[in-house]
Structure 1
Amino acid sequence: MSNECLTVVGGGLVGAAIAYGAARAGARVRLLDQGDVAFRASRGNFGLVWVSSKGSGVPRYARWSRDAAKLWPALHKELLELTGVDSGLRQPGGFWLGFSEAEVEARAKVLEKIDREAGGVPFQMMEPAELRQYLPGLGSAVVGGSFGPLDGHANPLMLLHGLHAGLRLKGADVINGVDVKQVKYDASSSLFEAIAGDGQSWKSERIVLAAGLGNASLTPQVGLCAPVAATRGQVLITERLKPFLDYPTNKARQTVEGTVQIGSTSEDVGLNDGTSSDKIEWLARRAVATFPALAQARLVRAWGALRPLTPDGYPVYQESPSCPGAYVATCHSGVTLASAHALVIGPWMSGLAQTPAEFDVFKGDRFAGPNTSVSHDH
């Protein structure tokens, strides 16, 4: 049990998972959650627990995603037993589906590269006839695909609910409706102070900035760098249908409740988290081309949400060199990495475990150079 207090700024999937992991490891934890007014990335998350194609050119990220997928059953089981909340985890493997020979060929090259460089990221390329053995009703527009045996899916909203419930049961102090605008560090006392827009403040020996898009302005205040920008994802959901899709795919997945989630887009539209008719139509047409039976399904909802994305698409995990005890955690894959955030990052950032191996690649310093040029696959 640590006598130090850890304040986590941000109660979304990333912050909640880290806070839960710290609390279960024995830390005193305070979670400051902006609440329902926040740009919740979990609202627009497609819900995939996905390893395939992640980390091309960054083998450490491929291994990080692979290891997170393997840790997920333990987190799911623990939350279910502790809180009664079912995160909806299913890991039967998952399919990526392509509409052209060129993209299928490109996919195979990427997966081969990742498995060669990172190791332990298996995949299988399949022709349409083989795909239909697993995905009956697949449309003729699909010319090929890949199967990732480590892939699966979960329910982002139930995962968030389970983490918050688990935090309270572990004795954490969860404070809602807090919009942190400023973070101060007092070197003489080695204390951090998180200050909300309404003047409320909280002090602690350690602090984790996991505020999603808010990290862009908060991290420089404690000597860190996390230049995140918003990318909008639009998602569609159908009425409940008879089970027909046993595996998640990159274009549609059937939830445990029977609805089919269709997604998603990746749009640079600033802080506009609305929907647009052209993208809704594009998603619907693509889903029907993938599974023609969906043409008869009624859409019951469409929504958009903003997700934080770094310039290269990879996470930022780092302790401040100038303000020891301050950490940043920013990532685009809050569902896939939830288990690693809870079981690995939480204990580290609370001071109860060592820095994970080979984590220098995730430092935000990589964006600090004046001539830094990066690109990403999102």
Structure 2
Amino acid sequence: MPDVVVVGAGIIGAACAEALSAAGVRVTVLDRGSAASGTTAAGEGNVLVSDKQPGPELTLALASIARWPALLAELREELGPDLAEAEWEPKGGLVVATENAEALEKFAALQLEAGVQADVITVADAVALEPHLTPDLATAVYYSQDAQLQPVLAATTLLAAVRRRGGEVRPGVSAVKLRSGGIETCEGFLHCDAVVNACGPWAGAFSEAAGAPITVLPRRGMLLVTAPVPFAVRHKVYDADYVGAVASADADLQTSTVVESTQAGTVLIGSSRERVGFDDSIRVAVLRVMAQKAIRLFPMLAQVPVMRAYGGLRPYAPDHLPVIGQDPRVPGLWHATGHEGAGIGLAAATGQLLADLYLGRPPAVDPFPFRVDRPAVMAHETDR
């Protein structure tokens, strides 16, 4: 019998399960689909501090970006390189502005005060870092802490550690409802002491079924993938509009330029954000806008064919902060959700924080801003 059942085998559920199992907690992970097949599979693998304003999320991001390389090193030692490969790349990030240099430089100064390594550089230095980047820029900021990993590999690595420690990962098993002493699943009742809601965009629906509704809404995002052009883009590069899109509460479509390479040499082009319920369909008109904006930053991309497009839903909380912790209304119910497009980067610290709270250890970061019973999350909406 497990001590804890984690519902959701994406990157957040996997990180929570790994952190709990590392402390000796018996864990079972359930997912109605296959592991890492939802939001995690639709992400870029961003591990960023550059896009976050000073505040609780940035604090969590700094803790996570420090934890990820150490955690992956520990798992490689425990599991071996074949089971613990996540394509970790501490590549650094480059944020550029084509106009209004003052706004980006002011934002970077605030981040610097908050502990981020943010260096304002000249346009010439930016082009030296990225030779294919347009020189038609107003300013640029280099973020050496930004990194990238392969999200599906990262999640499956975390889940492999859970299995190695005696835990279970059960794909194709739906959680139906909480009951006293455990959780009802499509395969029967599972006894446990606690249940973690790590259902991503579906966390709101799960919370309703559990009798403790929280406001977590789906927000759609899309990406383009080009044919391989090795070493064409060396860092994560995005325009300053991306920061505003991340922080926006607007439900309407927003696009901003994000360009980066993978280890396979393909180039990922993003990004879009749009609140359209659970509609995860791909819209060609949005992809066209994203491609046009990317070409403005990297003109050479006009000659590179696009191989495919993909997208998915991200779990959005109205105040743009994750929900991490115990629900005060239902004994044994915990939540780890609401990370929107930052879940990959925030996962390592989220798992550690949830495990700290569950075990009564001093938390790695202040949990108060992420508590379940805060107004923006408890103010239940019906437009899911």
The CA distance in 2 between the partners of 1:137 and 1:368, in whole Å, is: 43
Match of 2:58 in 1: 62
Deviation per CA, 1:318-337, whole angstroms, max 9, x where unpaired? Answer: 21224343211112222111
Match of 1:173 in 2: 168
Q: Determine if the alignment matches structure 1 residue 106 to structure 2 residue 117.
A: no
The CA distance in 2 between the partners of 1:370 and 1:348, in whole Å, is: 23
Task: Report if aligned partners of 2:353, 2:365 keep a CA contact under 8 Å in 1.
Answer: no
Q: Specify the SS of the correspondent of 2:295.
A: helix
Match of 2:204 in 1: 216
Return the offset for 1:264.
1.5
Structure 2 residues not aligned, in runs of 5+: 239-257
AA at the equivalent of 1:62: L
Match of 1:88 in 2: 87
Assess, with a 3 A threshold, how the Cα gap between structure 1 residues 18 and 40 changes in structure 2: closer, same or farther. Answer: same
Task: Report if aligned partners of 2:31, 2:171 keep a CA contact under 8 Å in 1.
Answer: yes
Match of 2:96 in 1: 97
2:347 to 328, 338, 342: 338
Structure 1 residues not aligned, in runs of 5+: 374-378
The CA distance in 2 between the partners of 1:39 and 1:367, in whole Å, is: 31
Match of 1:239 in 2: 227
AA at the equivalent of 1:195: E
The CA distance in 2 between the partners of 1:294 and 1:339, in whole Å, is: 33
Deviation per CA, 1:46-86, whole angstroms, max 9, x where unpaired? Answer: 21110113134xx2321111111111111222233315232
Return the offset for 1:314.
0.9
Q: Determine if the alignment matches structure 1 residue 270 to structure 2 residue 277.
A: yes
What pairs up with 1:91-240 in 2 under 5 angstroms? Answer: 91-99=90-98, 101-102=99-100, 104-116=101-113, 119-184=114-179, 186=180, 191=181, 193-196=182-185, 198=186, 200-220=188-208, 224-240=212-228
Task: Report if aligned partners of 1:79, 1:86 keep a CA contact under 8 Å in 2.
Answer: no
Assess, with a 3 A threshold, how the Cα gap between structure 1 residues 37 and 232 changes in structure 2: closer, same or farther. Answer: farther
Q: Specify the SS of the correspondent of 1:171.
A: coil
AA at the equivalent of 2:368: D
Return the offset for 1:194.
1.9
Assess, with a 3 A threshold, how the Cα gap between structure 1 residues 176 and 243 changes in structure 2: closer, same or farther. Answer: same
Task: Report if aligned partners of 1:25, 1:352 keep a CA contact under 8 Å in 2.
Answer: no
Q: Determine if the alignment matches structure 1 residue 7 to structure 2 residue 5.
A: yes
The CA distance in 2 between the partners of 1:351 and 1:34, in whole Å, is: 27
TM-score by length of 2: 0.85
Instruction: Write out the 4+ residue segments of structure 1 that deviate beyond 6 Å after TM superposition.
Output: 369-373
Return the offset for 1:312.
1.4
State the identity %: 28
What pairs up with 1:272-351 in 2 under 5 angstroms? Answer: 272-330=279-337, 331-332=339-340, 333-342=342-351, 344-351=352-359
Task: Report if aligned partners of 1:229, 1:309 keep a CA contact under 8 Å in 2.
Answer: yes
Task: Report if aligned partners of 2:21, 2:165 keep a CA contact under 8 Å in 1.
Answer: yes
Q: Determine if the alignment matches structure 1 residue 261 to structure 2 residue 268.
A: yes
The CA distance in 2 between the partners of 1:349 and 1:180, in whole Å, is: 23
AA at the equivalent of 1:93: G
1:366 to 369, 374, 382: 374
Task: Report if aligned partners of 1:80, 1:87 keep a CA contact under 8 Å in 2.
Answer: no
Deviation per CA, 1:230-252, whole angstroms, max 9, x where unpaired? Answer: 11110011111222322122311
Q: Specify the SS of the correspondent of 1:178.
A: coil
Question: What is the aligned length?
Answer: 357
The CA distance in 2 between the partners of 1:267 and 1:43, in whole Å, is: 18
Task: Report if aligned partners of 2:198, 2:336 keep a CA contact under 8 Å in 1.
Answer: yes
Task: Report if aligned partners of 1:89, 1:154 keep a CA contact under 8 Å in 2.
Answer: yes
Return the offset for 1:280.
1.0
TM-score by length of 1: 0.87
The CA distance in 2 between the partners of 1:369 and 1:243, in whole Å, is: 43
Q: Specify the SS of the correspondent of 1:89.
A: coil
